[in-house]
Structure 1
Amino acid sequence: MPPPADPADPSHPWPLADGVDVRDELLAAYADPTRGYHDTTHLAEVLARVEELAAAGVGFDRTPVRLAAWFHDSVYDGERDAEERSAAWAEDALPGLVDDATVAEVARLIRLTETHRPDDGDLNGCVLSDADLGILAAPDARYASYVAAVRAEYGHLDDATFDAGRRRVLEDLLAKPRLFHTAYAHDRWEQRARANVTAELGAGPA
Structure 2
Amino acid sequence: MMTDLPLRFQKDLLPYHVAPKMAAMWWEEIHQHYGQPKRAYHNLDHLAALFHWADSYETLLNDPETVHWAIWYHDIIYQARRQDNEEQSAILAEKRLVEIGLPAKKIADVVGYIRATAQHLSVEATGDLAFFLDFDLAILGASPEVYANYAAAVREEYQHVPGFLYRRGRKKVLRYFLEAPRLYRTDVLYGLLEEKAKENLRQELDRL
Q: Secondary structure at the match of 2:60?
A: coil
Give the equivalent residue in structure 2 for 1:139.
143
> How many residues are treated as equivalent by the alignment?
195
TM-score calculated relative to the size of structure 2: 0.87
Aligned pair partner of 1:90 in 85, 89, 93: 93
Give the aligned residue type for 1:62: P
Instruction: Note if contact 1:32-1:39 (Cα within 8 Å) is conserved in structure 2.
Output: yes
Aligned pair partner of 1:77 in 61, 76, 79: 79
* 1:61-93 deviation per Cα after TM superposition (whole angstroms, max 9, x unaligned): 211111001111101110111000100110111
Q: Secondary structure at the match of 1:176?
A: coil
Deviation at 1:15, TM superposition (A): 2.3
Show the 5 A alignment for 1:10-49: 15-17=12-14, 18=18, 20=23, 21-49=25-53
Deviation at 1:60, TM superposition (A): 2.8
Instruction: Note if contact 1:53-1:184 (Cα within 8 Å) is conserved in structure 2.
Output: no
TM-score calculated relative to the size of structure 1: 0.88
Deviation at 1:174, TM superposition (A): 1.4
Give the equivalent residue in structure 2 for 1:7.
6
Give the aligned residue type for 2:98: P
Deviation at 1:175, TM superposition (A): 1.7
Instruction: Note if contact 1:84-1:111 (Cα within 8 Å) is conserved in structure 2.
Output: yes
Instruction: Note if contact 1:36-1:149 (Cα within 8 Å) is conserved in structure 2.
Output: yes
CA distance in structure 1 between the partners assigned to 2:113 and 2:11 by the alignment: 17
RMSD: 1.8
Aligned: 1:162 with 2:166: yes
CA distance in structure 1 between the partners assigned to 2:39 and 2:11 by the alignment: 21
CA distance in structure 1 between the partners assigned to 2:155 and 2:142 by the alignment: 17
Say if 1:13 and 1:135 are closer, same or farther in 2 by CA, change over 3 A.
Answer: farther
Instruction: Spell out structure 1 runs of 4+ moving beyond 6 A.
Output: none
Percent of aligned positions that are identical: 32
Give the equivalent residue in structure 2 for 1:119.
124
Q: Secondary structure at the match of 1:156?
A: coil
Runs of 5+ consecutive residues of structure 2 not aligned to the other structure:
none
Deviation at 1:112, TM superposition (A): 0.4
Task: Kindly indicate which of the two structures has a greater share of residues assigned to helix.
Answer: 2
Aligned: 1:68 with 2:65: no
Give the aligned residue type for 1:119: E
Instruction: Note if contact 2:5-2:48 (Cα within 8 Å) is conserved in structure 1.
Output: no
Aligned: 1:152 with 2:149: no
CA distance in structure 1 between the partners assigned to 2:110 and 2:11 by the alignment: 14
